[in-house]
């Protein structure tokens, strides 16, 4: 293989129009979170995305002893402690038996002293349907306004959806949508989970994939997802392979084109995520709900790469700051 392409901060840089749109979007995120308890009919402020928590668990990241020597500086221990949140991508929490199959598997990695090493919010769809930062920000802003009952945002939202259509019709997007629809009733732990976009690994840039080992996809078909996870972990351990792809050239592994899969970069196994049975935490606990999985809180050499990724830093910060402020008011300073 050729030498990996090195990270450059130019991959992350927004232009002036994008920066202005981001400031507008941040205001609508704060407005959404402030009204989120009434939007979702719950007694706390929710996240601006992946609002519904199915479960939170403790886990372990075991490093593969055969990883390449070049990766040893990043994985210098035998294992690392994890906190994992299972979620649904919708902005509004619905008390339904079946949710749309848009799941999150957010992973927080700690060092031996309990300090944060990295956050990786993984999802069960490997691609992102929008490459244009401006289109995405205008769409996200309109969606936020629509949820907080600003009906005037309906037409702008539809316009941005229409603008998004061409980027949805790539071969990779169509193939993965069909695959997802075929698995729409499968157990949440039977899906592969992916980083949306690239992350740094020192000077290298990578994508991450979590591939479960031997999980029966038919589990929990007649249960709510939250209940199926609870019953699964009462009697089962969970193990998934952790795989990475390395960026060697932008033609085959583009950083800012998120609607195509990386090609000509083989998956490399670097370890396993394990969750032992009876490892679930109390997802209703306010401190658990206040957990943040902002990937930009990670150590600098594990942080996200790319323009769409860069938007997440500001979005996460606004969301968590507003959530914590509202939830302390709702539940008192001890919350």
The domain segmentation of the chain, as residue ranges, is 9-327
Angle in degrees, CA 47, 48, 54, rounded to 5: 45
What's the gap between Cα 273 and its chain centre?
16
**Predicted local distance difference test score (pLDDT) of residue 98:** 80
pLDDT for 286-327, tens place per residue? 666 678 899 999 999 999 999 999 988 888 889 888 988 888
Strand partners, 272: 62, 241
**Predicted local distance difference test score (pLDDT) of residue 314:** 86
pLDDT for 160-185, tens place per residue? 889 888 888 899 999 999 999 999 99
Strand partners, 79: 62
**Predicted local distance difference test score (pLDDT) of residue 70:** 87
Euclidean distance between CA atoms 100 and 96, whole angstroms: 10
Q: Could you tell me if 57 and 279 are in contact, meaning their C-beta atoms sit under 8 angstroms apart?
A: yes
Q: Is the dihedral of CA 94, 96, 102, 107 positive or negative?
A: positive
**Predicted local distance difference test score (pLDDT) of residue 334:** 39
Q: Write out the two tokens for 191.
A: 């899906």
Q: How high does pLDDT run on average in the chain?
A: 91
**Predicted local distance difference test score (pLDDT) of residue 335:** 37
What is the maximum span of the chain, computed from C-alpha positions, in angstroms? 57
Euclidean distance between CA atoms 247 and 275, whole angstroms: 29
Q: Write out the two tokens for 255.
A: 């950083």
pLDDT for 239-265, tens place per residue? 999 999 999 999 999 999 999 999 999
> What is the rounded average pLDDT of the residues 199-220?
96
Indicate the fold that domain 9-327 takes in CATH: Catalase HpII,  Chain A, domain 1 (2.40.180)
**Predicted local distance difference test score (pLDDT) of residue 286:** 61
Q: Which of 40-44, 85-89, 141-145, 283-287 has the lowest mean pLDDT?
A: 283-287
Q: Which of 142-146, 201-205, 322-326, 329-333 has the lowest mean pLDDT?
A: 329-333
pLDDT for 48-64, tens place per residue? 888 899 999 999 999 99
> What is the rounded average pLDDT of the residues 232-239?
96
**Predicted local distance difference test score (pLDDT) of residue 333:** 46
Q: Name the helix (H) or strand (E) containing 109.
A: strand 103-110
pLDDT level of residue 41 (50, 70, 90 thresholds): confident
**Predicted local distance difference test score (pLDDT) of residue 100:** 92
pLDDT for 184-200, tens place per residue? 999 999 999 999 899 99
| DSSP per-residue codes, 210-271 | EEESS--TTTTTTS-HHHHHHHHHHH--EEEEEEEEE---TTTS-SS-TTS---S---EEEE
**Predicted local distance difference test score (pLDDT) of residue 315:** 86
- Count of C-beta atoms within a 10 Å radius of residue 58: 14
């Amino acid at each position: 293989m050729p030498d990996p392409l090195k990270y450059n901060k130019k991959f992350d840089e927004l232009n002036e129009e994008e920066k202005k749109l981001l400031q507008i979007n941040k205001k609508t995120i704060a407005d959404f979170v402030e009204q989120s308890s009434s939007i979702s009919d719950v007694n706390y402020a929710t996240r601006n995305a992946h609002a519904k928590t199915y479960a939170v668990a403790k886990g372990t990241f075991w490093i593969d002893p055969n990883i390449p020597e070049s990766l040893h500086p990043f994985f210098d221990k035998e294992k690392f402690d994890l906190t994992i949140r299972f979620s649904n991508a919708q902005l509004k929490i619905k008390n339904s038996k079946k949710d749309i199959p848009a799941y999150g598997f957010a992973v927080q990695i700690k060092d031996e002293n309990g300090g944060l090493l990295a956050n990786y919010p993984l999802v069960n769809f490997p691609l992102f349907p929008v490459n244009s930062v401006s289109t995405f920000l205008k769409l996200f802003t309109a969606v936020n306004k629509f949820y907080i009952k600003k009906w005037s945002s309906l037409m702008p939202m539809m316009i941005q959806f229409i603008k998004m259509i061409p980027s949805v019709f790539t071969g990779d997007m169509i193939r993965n949508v069909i695959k997802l629809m075929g698995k729409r009733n499968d157990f949440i732990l039977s899906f592969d989970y992916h980083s949306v976009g690239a992350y740094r690994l020192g000077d290298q840039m990578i994508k991450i994939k979590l591939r479960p080992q031997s999980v029966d996809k038919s589990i929990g078909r007649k249960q709510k997802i939250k209940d199926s996870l609870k019953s699964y972990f009462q009697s089962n351990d969970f193990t998934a392979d952790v795989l990475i792809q390395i960026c060697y050239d932008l033609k085959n592994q583009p950083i800012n084109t998120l609607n195509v899969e990386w090609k000509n970069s083989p998956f490399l196994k670097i370890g396993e995520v394990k969750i032992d049975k009876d490892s679930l935490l109390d997802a209703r606990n306010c401190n658990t709900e206040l957990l943040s999985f902002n990937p930009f809180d990670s150590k600098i050499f594990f942080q996200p790469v790319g323009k769409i990724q860069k938007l997440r830093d500001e979005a996460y910060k606004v969301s968590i700051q507003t959530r914590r402020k509202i939830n302390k008011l709702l539940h008192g300073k001890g919350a």
